[in-house]
Structure 1
Amino acid sequence: MLTSRRRPFPSPSISPRRTASRLTGALAVGAALTLAVTPISAAQSTAEAAGTITVSSLGSTIGAPGSSTGSLGPFGSLAAPAYAGYVALGDSYAALGDNTEPAGGPTGCARSLANYPHQLASNPAVGDLTDSTCGGAEVPDILTVTQVEGAPPQITTLEPDTDLVTLSIGGNDVGFGTIVGCITAHLQPGGPQQPIDCRTVQGATVSADIDDLYGEGGAVDVIYDEIAERSPDATVVATQYLPLMPAEDEDGCQFTAAIGAANLEWAREITQEINDAVDDAALRNGHVSVLPTSDTDRSGCAPVNERWVVFNDGSANNTAPFHPTALGQEAMAAAIAAAL
């Protein structure tokens, strides 16, 4: 999520996160590696909503973009629910938005009324929302673990008649927090004088973790199997991680310069790996994954009122550090609508 892709081209702490202070650290650090790039080979569609919408995993690995607004039509255009029961599963990139608009639920989950589940549910084509997302979530929190008091395993909120599911998971499991900690280590009090070569220190381990988590038979496949078992008729949309960093050097800023060119390039590559893996897992299981893109910079370097994400100070956008803004969540909701 460090790279914001332009139109020509198609997260928290790790564990155990069982206290509010641990979760706060997860929200502030882990999402910083939401570094994203959309797979260039993905099929595309466009929708009028805060930028160009890229929809991947539509079964095509080549060529010409198509134009579609999905079965929801232009956002908010249908009068009757096409998806009567919607369950949102996932981590902080699905849970958070504007922290001045809490959505209720367990305090430790930090759900916002501005998150993409709530914004998608405002579409008349979407019916009742069960928002099971929770900041800091990992795969076990989806499948087996009561993450915080009042937040049972997210998968248990699915019903046989659930007909729409969105899923954002994996960033914390593959170590967003660890990666961000490495990239920003020299910016911390008492840290090294120069940036660490994080590709050398962590690259092989992170890539292996991505393969294990999202690869065939991995933990993400187990989630898809459980969704199919509990809600066999549900349409499932996976969401990739919104970009933090601008794609082009000329759109950079103080933060991008501070982490160093080598770490920025590695972050972009790792983000590509993560989002490719999200996409591959969705496609393998018969679903889609989405990521909004824009003709203008929407990274943490963008003007306050144009950002889809923030860096280490989210106060101007009322959101947690290294997380999506309400505008970014709006763009993700529109991408999902376009895919449907």
Structure 2
Amino acid sequence: MVTGSLLAAAGVGVASVSGLTLASLSGASSGSSGNVVVFGDSYYSSPDEAALTRTCSQSDANWSRLAAADTGVAVHDFSCGGVTSETMLERVDEALASGDLGAETGTVFLSIGGNDFAHQGVVRGMKIGDLDGRRETVMTNVDTAVSKIRDAAPDAKLVFSSYLPATVGPYVCRTDGPVEGVSLPVYDQQLDEVEGYISETMALAAERYDAEFVDVRSAAAGNSTCSPVGERFLSGEEGAPDVLMAWHPTAAGSRFMADLFIPEIVR
């Protein structure tokens, strides 16, 4: 049993193309001192239906865009739906090639692993094994990512984070229903254990690289798929009005992450 810190989330199956430079969307000036670079999967890109037509399924209101709007800091968002820890390395290379990741980078956020652990399959009842082997794969690829990040931006603050929880204890609510808009809780020990295991992987990565760790899963404890529709940070299946993408952050969830991450930004 893992001491669950955080949920590691997965992305939808959207092809990795090119990262989006958030500065051009937020109005912040690209390349300003202390800029922010973001790497992650769809729990960072927070896809909605409109976002599926865009590169990497980034929504207009994911946490990084909210943070850019709130702070005025240039945020270069290379999160991408569907990425694994291995394919995330392509996003790192793209950030290097574009010049968005470099000596003027003040903060780098990184959260990955959900797709390595098949989280989107697990929430739908798929059984998985070899958690230790999956963790080893994630850590090996994060080793490579951190090496590239620190070579390019040696003075940047590196922040790892966990993910918003689908579970509350070993229970999950899969659809909208009659009780405050959500269904009755269903016992799912595997999902809770996998989420805890992935979350702890990000905590271990932060410890390994002497980086910061934002424990999103713990901070959001009690607000899961079983929280009221409109207030919950993560949705279950399609149907309820707050579902942007099934089993992904709601608008409230993206706002919650932005509020947690903004204090970590070096300005």
TM-score by length of 1: 0.60
- Could you give the per-residue CA deviations for residues 135-178 of structure 1, whole angstroms, max 9, x where no partner exists? 111223322379xxxxx745544122111111121211232234
Q: Which residue in the other structure is 2:81 paired with?
A: 135
**Is 1:85–2:84 an aligned residue pair?**
no
Larger Rg computed on CA atoms = 1
CA separation in 1, counterparts of 2:198 and 2:172?
Answer: 25
Runs of at least 4 residues of structure 1 off by over 3 A?
Answer: 17-20, 97-100, 152-157, 248-256, 292-297
Task: Pick from 124, 136, 149 the counterpart of residue 211 of structure 1.
Answer: 136
More RCO (CA 8 Å, sep 6+): 1
In the TM superposition, residue 90 of structure 1 has moved relative to its aligned partner by 1.3
CA-to-partner distance for each residue in 1:119-149, whole Å, 9 max, x for gaps? 222233x511111211111223322379xxx
Q: Is the 8 A contact 1:239 1:289 kept in 2?
A: yes
2-structure distance, mates of 1:168, 1:162 = 17
3-state SS of the aligned residue for 2:74?
Answer: strand
Deviations 1:85-135 (A, max 9, x none): 1111111011015556x5x9x7141112221111222233x5111112111
Q: Please, which runs of 5 or more residues in structure 2 have no aligned partner?
A: 18-31, 175-181
> Mean alpha-carbon deviation: is it higher for 158-167 or for 287-296?
287-296
- In structure 2, relative to structure 1, the CA distance for the partners of 1:167 and 1:19 (3 Å cut) is closer
User: What count of residue pairs does the alignment treat as equivalent?
Assistant: 235
Distance 2:212 2:243 in 1: 30
Distance 1:211 1:168, change over 3 A: same
Query: Any idea what SS the aligned residue of 1:330 has?
Result: helix
Q: How many percent of aligned residue pairs carry the same amino acid?
A: 25
Q: In the TM superposition, what is the alpha-carbon distance from 1:315 to its structure 2 partner?
A: 4.9
Task: Specify which of 136, 141, 144 is matched with residue 90 of structure 2.
Answer: 144
Matches of 2:171 and 2:41 in 1, distance apart?
30
CA contact (8 A) 2:36 2:105 kept: yes
* Rounded Cα–Cα distance in structure 2 between residues aligned with 1:314 and 1:289: 34
**Other structure's SS at 1:208 match:** helix
5 Å-filtered alignment, 1:45-194, equals 84-96=34-46, 99=49, 107-124=54-71, 127-144=73-90, 153-154=94-95, 156=97, 157-181=100-124, 183=125
Counterpart Cα distance in 2 of 1:234 and 1:308: 29
Partners of 1:313 and 1:265 lie apart in 2 by 22
The answer to whether the 8 Å contact 1:89/1:154 transfers is no
- The yes-or-no answer on 1:317 pairing with 2:264 is no
Cα separation, 1, equivalents of 2:225 and 2:89: 32
Report the Cα distance in structure 2 between the residues aligned to 1:154 and 1:139, rounded to whole angstroms: 16
Distance change >3 Å, CA 280–CA 83, structure 1 → 2: farther
Task: For 1:241, give the aligned amino acid.
Answer: Y
- CA deviation vs aligned residue, 1:248-304 (integer Å, no higher than 9, x gap): 7699964642xxx3xx11221222211111011112111112133458732112111
Which residue of structure 1 lines up, in the alignment, with residue 23 of structure 2? Answer: none
Letter in 2 for 1:208: G
**Which residues of structure 1 form unaligned runs of 5+?**
6-10, 21-81, 147-151, 186-197
Letter paired with 2:155:
D
CA positional deviation for 1:231: 1.2
C-alpha change, 1:107 and 1:211, in structure 2 (3 Å) is same
2:199 to 268, 275, 279: 275
Contact between 1:139 and 1:170, CA under 8 Å: does it hold in 2? yes
Q: Shift of residue 211 of structure 1?
A: 3.1
